Amino acid sequence: MAAGIITLTSSTFDETVNSSSTPILVDFWAEWCGPCKQIAPILEQIAAEMPSQITIAKLNVDDYGDIAGRFNVMSIPTMILFDNGDVKTRIVGAMPKGRMVQELTPFLPASS
């Protein structure tokens, strides 16, 4: 996984999401998913450019379908933004970086 991106598992999901000091965007993805591969570099850029505002994490749905099911992830990529453990927004499908940042910004703290 790229620098600045956390890999989640069933055993680390709840603790990581609930204890994050910043809003955390969880990317529900799979190795075989083309659009998931398209957004991976975008998520890496966001993680690198906005480290004080957002944490990026990835959860492989093939390995951890129990978590995907818990959040009704029906298609991938699905990205869910959590803040203090609460779902703030859900983004389904690949999109350009500018649009993704635009979707996330209302839920993020001001840059410091």
Write out pLDDT tens, residues 90-101: 999 999 999 999
Active-site option among 33, 40, 94, 95: 33
Picking from 23, 22, 27, the residue whose alpha carbon sits closest to that of residue 7 is 27
Q: In the 8-state DSSP scheme, what is residue 105?
A: G
Domain layout of the chain by residue ranges: 5-105
**Cα(73)–Cα(85) distance, rounded to whole angstroms?**
17
User: Does 38 score more than 80 pLDDT?
Assistant: yes
Q: What distance lies between CA 33 and its chain's CA centroid?
A: 15
36 is catalytic: yes
User: Does 112 score more than 60 pLDDT?
Assistant: no
pLDDT confidence tier of residue 111, bands split at 50, 70 and 90: low
**Cα(15)–Cα(75) distance, rounded to whole angstroms?**
24
Interior CA angle at 39 toward 105 and 90, to 5°? 45
User: Does 35 score more than 90 pLDDT?
Assistant: yes
Domain 5-105 belongs in CATH node 3.40.30.10: yes
Average pLDDT, the chain: 94
Q: How many residues does the chain have?
A: 112
Q: In the 8-state DSSP scheme, what is residue 110?
A: P
User: Does 65 score more than 60 pLDDT?
Assistant: yes
Active-site option among 25, 36, 42, 54: 36
**Cα(73)–Cα(53) distance, rounded to whole angstroms?**
25
- Supply the pLDDT for residue 102: 95
